[in-house]
Amino acid sequence: MTTLHQIEPLTEKIRIASRAVAFTGAGISTESGIPDFRSPGGVWSKYQPVPFDEFVASQEARRRFWRMRREAYDAFAGARPNEGHRALANLEAAGRLAAVITQNIDGLHQQAGSRRVLELHGTAREVACLDCARRYRDSEIQQRLVGGVDVPTCDECGGWLKSATVSFGQVLPADVLAESARLARESDLFLVIGSSLVVQPAASLPVLARDAGAVLAIVNRDPTPLDDAADFVIRAPIGETFARIMRLLQTDGARPDETL
Ligand code: ZN
C-alpha cells in the first residue's frame, strides 16, 4: 500500500489550517531510539511495568520500579529529538501548530523546542513525591540510585518518590485531559503521529476532533482503528514524511496572510 501521494495534499491542509493540533505516540520517538513499550525486546519486556497499587503497597515493587527506571535512564539518556520532533517545533514557531498532545513521557518534544506540550501520561524527566507533590529532576534522583539508594524518599516529608509518569492503575491528569479535549474540539486539522490509537481515553481525542469538523490525518507505520475515519492515512517513517512536508512548505512560499 502506497500512501506517499497523500503528502502533498496533506501539506496543503497544513498550509491553510489555523488551529492545527498534533497528537503523538511512541512511534515518533522510536526514530530517536526509544522503544515502544508494547513492542517485544528491550527493557520493557525484561521488567513487567509496576502497577500503581503495587507500588504503593510493596517495598519490593518500589525497588523493582526504580531498578527499571535506572536501566531506562542509562539506556535512553543519549536519545535526541529527530526530524519529526523538530518539524513540529518549527511548525509551532511558524504559527502553524497550536499545540502538541503527547502520550510520550520522554520530553523530546520540549527538547526539540516545542513550547505548548500536553503530556497525557506525565513525564519521566521529573520525579514527584506521592505525599507532598514536591518535584525533583530525574537526573538528581538517578544520582541517588547510582549512589546506592534503592528506593528514594522525599527530602521534605519522607514520602515515596515516583517518576512523574502515569502508571498502570493511575488516572490521567484531569486538567491535561480536559485541555486536550478542548484543543481537539477546536482544531481544524488534527494530526495523529506515531500512535496506534489503542490506549484510551487518549485514542478518543481524534474522534472528538473529527466529529467537531476537523480534518483528520494519521501518520503511523501500522494500521489504526481510525484509518477508515481519517481524511489522510500515511504509512511511512515519520521523520522522512515530515522532512518532506517541511520542504514543500518552504519551497511553495509563505501563505498570503503570513505575518511571521
Ligand atoms: Zn514529600
DSSP assignment string, 25-57: -HHHHHTTT---TTSSSSHHHHS----HHHHHH
Distance from residue 179's CA to the centre of ligand 1 (Å): 27
Q: How large a percentage of the chain has pLDDT more than 90? A: 81
Distance from residue 117's CA to the centre of ligand 1 (Å): 26
By C-alpha distance, which of 68, 79, 76 is closest to 145? 68
Q: What is the mean pLDDT of residues 238-256?
A: 83
Distance from residue 135's CA to the centre of ligand 1 (Å): 9
Q: What is the mean pLDDT of residues 13-37?
A: 92
Please give the Cα distance from 173 to 253 (Å, whole number): 40
Asked if 109 is an active-site residue, the reply is: no
CA 1, distance to chain mean position in Å, is 27
**Ion ligand 1, residues whose Cβ is below 5 A away:** 129, 131-132, 134, 154, 156-157, 159
Cα–Cα distances in angstroms (integers) from residue 248 to residues 10, 136, 216, in the given order: 10, 42, 20
pLDDT of res. 41: 53
Domains located in the chain, CATH noted: 1-34+81-121+172-260 (3.40.50.1220), 36-78+124-165 (3.30.1600.10)
How is residue 53 written as a grid cell? 497499587
Strands 99-102 vs 20-24: parallel, antiparallel or unpaired: parallel
Give the global pTM: 0.91
Does 253 score more than 70 pLDDT?
A: no
pLDDT in tens, 29-74: 999 988 776 555 555 566 678 999 999 999 999 999 999 999 888 8
Distance from residue 155's CA to the centre of ligand 1 (Å): 7
pLDDT of res. 141: 97
Q: What is the mean pLDDT of residues 82-100?
A: 97
The CA-CA-CA angle for residues 174, 198, 104, to 5°, reads: 55
Q: What is the mean pLDDT of residues 217-245?
A: 95
Distance from residue 218's CA to the centre of ligand 1 (Å): 41
